[in-house]
Amino acid sequence: MAVAREEWLVRESAHQERADALTAAHRDRAARGEKHPVWDFLFTYYAYKPAQLRRWHPGAGIELADAPERASWRWYSPGSTMDSVVPDAQAFAAEKQELADLIERMLRRTASRPGQFGCFGLHEWAMVYRADEHRHPVPLRLGQAGTDAVVENHDLRCTHFDAFRFFTPDAVPRNRTSLSRDEQPLFEQPGCLHAGMDLYKWAMKLGPLIPGELLLDTFELARDIRLLDMEAAPYDLSAWGIVPVPIETVEGKSEYVRRQREFADRGIALRSALLAAWLGESTAEAA
């Protein structure tokens, strides 16, 4: 049975209000031409505009009644009645088979592994190791020599290629594993902060197959993880009100791992929900 227009319009409106609230600060900064070293990442590295985030979809196989304006929308197919439409997972797979295979592989393989919690966010430190220029034009809170010493006194255990690829040349051989794009599904694991943030990327790429409410849940997880990612980074972000999590200390490591485990638990639930919404599995099957 199709969702009545009155009902889905209410859900759409609620989604738009929530999305607008989540992006308000960014949109205000953008209007002023103001950069932010923490939050811009959510709209530059993940290059999706706030307008894309506020577009609501019901999810794969959920039919919308009286929705003729969506008849031409990508990956929507005609429903069971006149002017009804439904997001079509088969249409998506037919057009984007390689992408569909990759997303499913990444979600399932990541979900199948135990989380690892011994990296302590050192990927950000490895990105500035012995470097004359840094990715963010802000000072290092321990200085270059102090930052380099932290890297040299720890075991680099990064499992996420899209972090590893930004390591400085001197940091690359220090990582426990040499990572590559082709082998990314072999190493991704649920304890990784960036694997959790990437759930937002996968949800966005699946477009109308993912319910809008779930999309915003993945964005909120990415936002929360991004904060810890930068709190644990080597940068002095005090000018932006960021209090560091000093992972070079025992206390800092303990706080990092505690929050990392909480994010991993949220990511596990969302990963399962994405598979369930997209492929029609029960959450138990997806897990």
pLDDT on residue 133: 82
Q: Give the three-class secondary structure for 195.
A: helix
pLDDT on residue 284: 44
Q: 230 and 123 in contact (C-beta within 8 Å)?
A: no
> Which own/partner contact pairs does 224-229 have at CB distance under 8 Å and 24+ positions apart?
224/263, 225/193, 225/194, 225/196, 225/197, 225/263, 226/38, 226/39, 226/41, 226/42, 226/197, 227/38, 228/121, 228/193, 228/256, 228/259, 228/260, 228/263, 229/121, 229/124, 229/193, 229/194, 229/197
**Domain-located, residue 276:** yes
**Domain-located, residue 200:** yes
pLDDT on residue 197: 98
pLDDT in tens, 32-60: 999 999 999 999 999 999 999 999 999 99
**Domain-located, residue 168:** no
Name the residue range of residue 111's domain: 5-117+183-286
pLDDT in tens, 193-233: 999 999 999 999 999 999 999 999 999 999 999 999 999 99
Is pLDDT above 50 for 20? Answer: yes
**Domain-located, residue 150:** no
pLDDT on residue 21: 98
**Domain-located, residue 247:** yes
Q: Which residues pair with 86 in a beta bridge?
A: 77
**Domain-located, residue 146:** no
Instruction: Specify the DSSP element, H or E, that contains 78.
Output: strand 76-78
Whole-prediction pTM: 0.95
pLDDT in tens, 69-105: 999 999 999 999 999 999 999 999 999 999 999 999 9
pLDDT in tens, 142-193: 999 999 999 999 999 999 999 999 999 999 999 999 999 999 999 999 999 9
pLDDT on residue 142: 97
Give the span between the Cα atoms of 91 and 97, in whole angstroms. Answer: 10
Mean pLDDT for 111-134 is 95
Q: For the chain, what is the radius of gyration of the CA atoms? A: 21
**Domain-located, residue 165:** no
Closest-CA residue to 263 (of 214, 212, 198, 192): 192
> What's the domain count of the chain?
1
pLDDT on residue 136: 77
Q: How confident is the model at residue 132 (pLDDT cuts 50, 70, 90)?
A: confident
Q: How confident is the model at residue 137 (pLDDT cuts 50, 70, 90)?
A: confident
CA torsion angle 248 249 252 254 (round to 10): 110
For residues 181-220, one letter each, b for 16 or more C-beta atoms within 10 angstroms of the residue's C-beta and e for the rest, the string is eeebeebbbbbbbbbbbbbbbbbbbbbbbbbbbbbbbbbe
Q: Could you tell me how many helices (H) and strands (E) the chain has, helices first? A: 13, 2
Is pLDDT above 80 for 287? Answer: no
**Domain-located, residue 97:** yes
Is pLDDT above 60 for 24? Answer: yes
For the chain, what is the mean pLDDT?
95
